Amino acid sequence: MTVSASEFPPRTIAATPAAGADDETPDLRDEIVALARSLPGELRRLTVRDGDRAIEVEWAAEPRSAVPLAPPTPAPATPGGRDVQPAAPPDPASDAPEVAATVRSPLVGTFYAAPSPGADPFVRVGDEVEPGQTVGIVEAMKLMNPIVADEAGVVAEVLVGDAESVEYDQVIMRLRPPGRSR
């Protein structure tokens, strides 16, 4: 059963109603909607299967904020009472590649860059990728889960090494817009 995001009213924390002795047994769909309402953030998709039991929850991407998280710290004062201005930090935008998209881990597990040990990696820095293209694998509980690119781009940076542990929503690689020079 897949419940679309349009079936959820604006997000509020809602407790699942407790079934009393005189209440009917709650419908599974009602329980799923109650669960979805209680989850933090905006859901993109919620899938529940009964055969071999599976629940999949996909959150919508959060918009990135352009406002810095911490305010700048004031410059320290010297013993003579004069303020010392720190050297201007290097401009990170000049060193970092232009990022069009990021590829994130959909689950906790071990990232593998190639389909098998000794094989060529799925992608390398400089490779162009298409939406839906497999760019790696995350192994979780002995299952190999393909990691696919959501958008087209050129691999600018791979942030996780082969056979390294990854966390949920961790950035695995950055993509720059296709067709642009480095």
Residue 141 domain-assigned?
yes
81 vs 124, residue with greater confidence: 124
The C-alpha atoms of residue 58 and residue 37 are separated, in whole angstroms, by 14
Is residue 147 within 8 Å of residue 162, measured between CB atoms? no
**pTM of model > 0.75:** no
Reported confidence tier of residue 179, pLDDT bands at 50, 70, 90: confident
Backbone angles phi and psi of 179, in degrees to 5: 80, 5
Point out which residues pair with 138 in neighbouring strands: 111, 145
Q: What is the CATH number of the domain that holds 109?
A: 2.40.50.100
Residue 81 in any domain: the answer is no
- Residues 164, 102 share a domain: yes
Residue range 142-157, pLDDT digits in tens: 999 999 999 999 999 9
In this structure, the answer to whether residues 104 and 163 fall within a common structural domain is yes
Determine contact, residues 3/39, Cβ cutoff 8 Å: no
Domain that holds residue 44: 2-59
Residue 104 and residue 157 in one domain? yes
Q: How many domains does the chain have?
A: 2
